Structure 1
Amino acid sequence: MSRKAKPVDAKPPVASAPEAAATATTDQAAASAPAATPAAKLTPAGWSVEVTTRKGRTQPRYRIGRAFGPEAVTIAVDDLTSEELQALHDDSDLVVTPKDGSEENGN
């Protein structure tokens, strides 16, 4: 016994006006949402970073409008832009150590 296949409707289903508006809003929100920067993934908000120069460096290193040397400089991540945080992490002459709030409070 052979059966005839039903013809397939090639037209895509039409969304109602509210459905189309909801889809457009969702697509716009996804497109405008800022992507997480690599720096933000390295050091979460609410943490701080401890920055020093690499061992053996005798002169201060200037980055993001600050001077860094052998003594650690602690900066709250919330006080930095993502670009500044990325610049610190990308600088090969600096050692950036993330510190969470519990380490600073002795917990």
Structure 2
Amino acid sequence: MNLIFIAWELDRLRWVPTALLADLVERDGLCMWAFTDVPPWADEEMTDRELAARMCAGCPVRDECLELELRTAGEDTVGVWGALSADDRRELYPHWLQRGERAERGPRS
């Protein structure tokens, strides 16, 4: 996984207001509406990376979700966001910070 590439891919979202990102993720995020019941893989043992890949496969707002989580949680990120595990996002965070200015500065950005 090339974290620097991922950080630069997110660069296109750096001027999108956080509130708009939150609205997009809540409205269009696959995890917000597709898994109203227990997902079919709930009883399978998976690593966090495997869970992230499975849960976010086909989601139309993965980048927006990842950008939102990095802005709002920063290094304190937990769970599955933007198809990455918490460990992967923590590793990505310093590269993401190097992008520079953003639409709004979150608590840690």
Q: Structure 1-normalised TM-score?
A: 0.20
Q: Structure 2-normalised TM-score?
A: 0.20
Higher normalized helix content (fraction of residues): 2
Max Rg structure = 1
Higher normalized strand content (fraction of residues): 1
- Greater length-normalized contact order (CA 8 Å, ≥ 6 residues apart): 2
